[in-house]
Structure 1
């Protein structure tokens, strides 16, 4: 699947993306605010293979963000999909230096549009480390509202807008 935007495209993750994802997640500049992962390429490939099962069950969707030159520049994920509650978690959002201007906002817009329209989601949740000021700013500008916090994180939600 591919979702086209003005500045970026989202494409469904493939096994061949494992090395890119691993490099992205191991990048010291980018991984300060994300959960750690195995540094083993085979583990990343197995994780993606297991992800495919969750995708088939419509429990999760994982995208690679690409610039218009088809260079991979990030990831975003919709997961913990609960069709009864019509809610999901949004995250695994990382962009590297190959991203074009506007990529952050467009990645959020395209992925949320997919969640709301294609998946019938009505509420999207995310959590962000309190130290991650840049992400907090982007999420709030994108319409996420803080509903809770703990010592480490803020918790945000975005409700589907009625049209």
Structure 2
């Protein structure tokens, strides 16, 4: 897959150091980042984190994507990490305030398709905060809860379930004729 990659009316590319300020604004937004791991509001730390990430990207250990509209206005980010021989984790998924829900669906579709085609892994494992009711409803439609703690539910989704999810979501975002 070559980047930037155009899919579902969005443009996807790997995160760069120049994205640090945008990412920091998303990850420190008290409303939209409330279900993510805490991030210090420190631009230099964010730049350094991205520098370290780029090393992992080169080794194909992790992928962090920024997605934007056709005017190249950034809309959000999503990440694949903890990549092993048969699993990966999808997370750090956050969309800029004011975007419609289809942007979230389209970014999830992209990451599912990217993982299936590029990583050839069979199973995605991820967690969702228990208080994140809307995202929980979405993931419960396709994924299986494998555990929980005080803060999170832990999920897994296999290759066949990902295919069903992708088909279903594409049917939602495609215009009716």
Q: Report the TM-score, using the length of structure 2 for normalisation.
A: 0.84
Paired residue for 2:24?
Answer: 22
Paired residue for 2:174?
Answer: none
Q: Which runs of 4+ in 1 moved over 4 A?
A: none
Paired residue for 1:52?
Answer: 54
List per-residue Cα deviations over 1:32-51 (Å, max 9, x = no partner).
11111121111111100000
- Matches of 1:140 and 1:96, distance apart in 2: 24
Paired residue for 2:157?
Answer: 158
Q: How many residues align?
A: 160
Q: Please show how residues 13-162 of structure 1 align to structure 2 within 5 Å.
A: 13-82=15-84, 84=85, 86-141=86-141, 143-161=142-160
Q: Secondary structure at the match of 1:81?
A: coil
Q: Secondary structure at the match of 1:124?
A: strand
Contact kept, 8 Å, 1:73 with 1:98, in 2: the verdict is no
Contact kept, 8 Å, 1:67 with 1:99, in 2: the verdict is no
Q: Report the TM-score, using the length of structure 1 for normalisation.
A: 0.91
Paired residue for 2:14?
Answer: 12
- Matches of 2:129 and 2:89, distance apart in 1: 15
Structure 1, unaligned runs of 5 or more: none
Q: Secondary structure at the match of 1:48?
A: helix
- Matches of 1:54 and 1:47, distance apart in 2: 11
- Matches of 1:31 and 1:100, distance apart in 2: 17
Higher RCO structure (Cα 8 Å, ≥6 apart): 1
Which structure's residues are more often strand, by fraction? 1
In structure 2, do the counterparts of structure 1 residues 147 and 116 end up closer, same or farther at CA, with 3 Å as the change threshold? same
List per-residue Cα deviations over 1:102-150 (Å, max 9, x = no partner).
1111111110111111111111111011000011122234x22222112
